[in-house]
Amino acid sequence: MSGALSGVSCLVTGAGGFVGLRIVQMLLEEEDLGELRAMDKTVSGHLLQTCERSQKKIQVKVLEGDIRDKEFLHKACQGVDLVIHTAAIIDPTGHVSKETFMSINLHGTELILESCVKNNVRYFIYTSSMEVVGPNTRGDPIVNGHEDLVYDSTLGSCYGESKRQGEWAVLRASGRELQNGGSLVTCSLRPTYIFGEGSQFLQMHIDQAIQNGGVFHRISKKEALVNPVYVGNVAWAHVVAARAMRDPDIVKKMAGNFYYICDDTPHMSYSDLNHALGAELGLGVEGRLAFPYPLLYFVASIMELVSFLLRPFIRFVPPLSKHLLILLNTTFTFSYKKAQRDMGYSPRYSWAEARRMTSTWIASILPQRKEELKKK
């Protein structure tokens, strides 16, 4: 289906982000687009360089603006055929308020959907997350989960809840009548935990390992298996979905549906993923959690209670939350078979390739990170 997006005008929101930038790069490399609009709240040097390299081949516009700015979105969507909406705020530390999560991840999504309807944008792909499902507050495991699975998704995360409501808005909007009488077609992609070059979370763990004598902290039990996905395969899934939505037969299956996106990365814990990516560079990993899991859960509960009691006086953000502890220590794996069956997705990069490219990136930043941390 190569060339299926020939002549298409595409808007990518969050274009300077970890996933958004890879989608922009892949679209520019793979497709003969009529136009690409790369939108972000703050335009990074990486995004500008990526877009400038392709200016001769494809018309590229870089748009700087907020996803909550209604007038800006209206102008950004004029003349666009396809929107890939990756813009979101992510924060596992608890420093971002629920109001901020909702205003960006939910209200911003609702605003751009309205802009699509008013501007006759036909196709809309939403970058969701496995955290719209869980893990739930009890830490119930999922093994090779699929789209028809019934799971008690009582979430303990403002991020997960904001993304879930954003996804609902996207899927409900599929079939909405456009101003020109056509109809909007939407779908949602739910990646598992994303790793790869440029990951801020991975860099944070690398910094901690450097400060811990070259050993990654054990943040998850070895038996808490997840199936991480390489960022290049997540970007590829968006390109495959965009191509498939242009096919009149395939789009009937995809309209209003969500898909889990993962790849053939071996199932392992988050800590063992860090080790697998850093082992060739001499980075080790602790053998076990610093304290037994029940004790860590008790400590997290006490800290959350203290935070609640102090709320009228000062804002205290606990360094460890129950949700984060459950997330890191719950077996949570999914299958990409439905995405493969409906739209023809299969991973573009093997685990060996993803591991090699990520390890090469770690090697490139390791000396600088060591020097910067030494100065602190």
Q: pLDDT for 6-62, tens place per residue? A: 899 999 999 999 999 999 999 998 888 999 999 998 877 777 777 777 666 788 899
Residue 212 lies in a domain: no
Q: CB within 8 A of 115, min separation 6: which ones? A: 70, 73, 74, 76, 77, 121
Kindly give, in sequence order, each residue whose CB lies less than 8 Å from that of residue 308, ignoring residues fewer than 6 positions away: none
**pLDDT of 293 strictly over 80:** yes
- Residue 106, domain member (yes or no): yes
Give dist(CA 163, CA 170) in Å, integer: 10
Is 90 exceeded by the pLDDT of residue 371? no
Cβ pair 131, 160 in contact under 8 A: yes
Is 339 domain-assigned?
yes
* HSE-CB of 364 using CA atoms within 13 angstroms: 8
Asked if 176 contacts 116 with a C-beta cutoff of 8 angstroms, the reply is: no
Q: 367 vs 191, which has greater pLDDT?
A: 191
Does residue 236 lie within any of the structural domains? yes
Pick from 109, 114, 92: nearest CA to 13: 109
275 inside domain? no
Look at residue 56 in the predicted model and tell me its pLDDT: 64
Q: Name, in order, each residue with C-beta under 8 angstroms of 76's C-beta and a sequence gap of 6 or more.
A: 11, 37, 39, 63, 65, 115
Q: Are 205 and 333 in contact (CB under 8 A)?
A: no
Q: Mean of the per-residue pLDDT values for the chain? A: 92
Does 314 map to a domain? no
Q: Is 321 contained in some domain?
A: no
Residues, the chain: 376
The mean-pLDDT minimum among 12-26, 84-98, 227-241, 270-284 falls in 84-98
Residue with tokens 């290049």: 232
- State the pLDDT at residue 1: 46
Active site residues: 163
What CATH number is associated with residue 39? 3.40.50.720
For 124-182, the pLDDT digits (tens) are 999 999 999 999 999 999 999 999 999 988 877 889 999 999 999 999 999 999 988 89
Chain-centroid distance of CA 351 in Å reads 19
The residue type of 231 is V
Type of residue at 95: H
- Helix/strand/coil percent split, the chain, to 5: 45, 15, 40
| List of residues 6+ apart from 243 with CB closer than 8 A | 1, 4, 5
The structural domain count of the chain equals: 1
Q: What is the pLDDT of residues 68-93, one digit of tens each?
A: 999 999 999 999 999 999 999 998 77
pTM above 0.85, yes or no: yes
pLDDT score recorded for residue 55: 62
34 in any annotated domain = yes
Supply the range of the domain harboring residue 236. 9-199+228-267+333-354
